[in-house]
Structure 1
Amino acid sequence: MDQGKVIAARTAASSFVTPRANEATSGAPGSIGASRSKIDEQAQAELASDLFEPFDDTVHSHSDKLEKLSAMDFGAYSKVEEGAVVKLDGRTFVIAVSTGKFVCEGNEMMGVSIQEPIYAELDGKRASDAISFNGKELVIEEVA
């Protein structure tokens, strides 16, 4: 649930159970205060669940990537395949799992998964081979 929906739900719930000036808000069973407390608890629980879900997915994604990385062979390669390090158009890519940019031994790199479209173009190619990707001709400078 997006933040706007949470705010709208809370506003609607709040206006529904807002006590009048002469009503008690003690929280005694059956009172408006008790109803408001129950709605606030429910809204808080829903919000917590909605906020937790993306983190849970992220944790599972990272776990899957770590498991895959620990099983990979990062030996020397002469052609592009899973585990190879590829220098393409001045950038260095590790064929493993998708990542953002990172630095390894002073070199800026980025992880590329075998499910990514660029890998379909790189698969099996060797240094000095050319590929066409997104309308650009690129030359593979190095495969290691």
Structure 2
Amino acid sequence: MTDRAAKKKAVHARLMSLEESELAAAIAHYEAYMADSHLSDRETHDNDDMAIARENADLAHAFEAPVQTHHGKIDAIENTDWSLSDTVGPGAVVSFGGRNFVVCVSTQRFEVDGETYMGISTQSPIYQAMAGLKEGETFTHNGKDVEIESVL
């Protein structure tokens, strides 16, 4: 395996790990609030107990959207072609302006082998500006010309 392929494989693995962690956290929040929303059949409950249970049910449902979002991101990561590429497209790792981006889904910043990366979606304006370009080509973003330093 080449250094480029190993680097891309490591970035892909970290991206998937990041989203799996985010999904697990969202599920844990959802389940915790759902558990707290159920009243026991063996106890008598006052209005405060019922209000707290209802509030916890509402909070649990608020965490349902992030669960679905992270499921969708994992689906996108799993269904993206991660082979080496010399063109900016889904699954590409792109560097410009001293920063590294992974084209697939939007993420927070993450580290791989001492380098910082951030996921961007194919709907993002910056991706739209550079889609289909190759290393050394330029695109305009926020009124500035930007040169693509590398594409994996």
Report the TM-score, using the length of structure 1 for normalisation: 0.69
Deviations 1:31-71 (A, max 9, x none): xxx8xx54213321231123212322111111111122122
Report the TM-score, using the length of structure 2 for normalisation: 0.66
**What amino acid sits opposite 1:136 in the alignment?**
K
Identical positions, percent: 35
**What amino acid sits opposite 1:66 in the alignment?**
I
When Rg is computed on C-alpha atoms for both structures, the one with the higher figure is 1
Q: Say which structure, 1 or 2, has more relative contact order (CA 8 Å, 6+ apart).
A: 2
TM-aligned CA deviation for residue 137 of structure 1: 2.0
Greater than 2 Å deviation, 4+ residue runs: none
TM-aligned CA deviation for residue 75 of structure 1: 1.0
Match of 2:62?
54
Q: 1:138 aligns with which of 142, 146, 150?
A: 146
Q: Given the alignment of the two structures, is residue 93 of structure 1 paired with residue 101 of structure 2, yes or no?
A: yes
Going from structure 1 to structure 2, the CA distance change for 1:46 and 1:136 (only over 3 Å counts) comes to: farther
Q: 1:72 aligns with which of 80, 100, 124?
A: 80
Greater helix proportion: 2
Number of aligned residues = 109
Counterparts of 1:138 and 1:108, CA distance in 2: 19
TM-aligned CA deviation for residue 118 of structure 1: 0.9
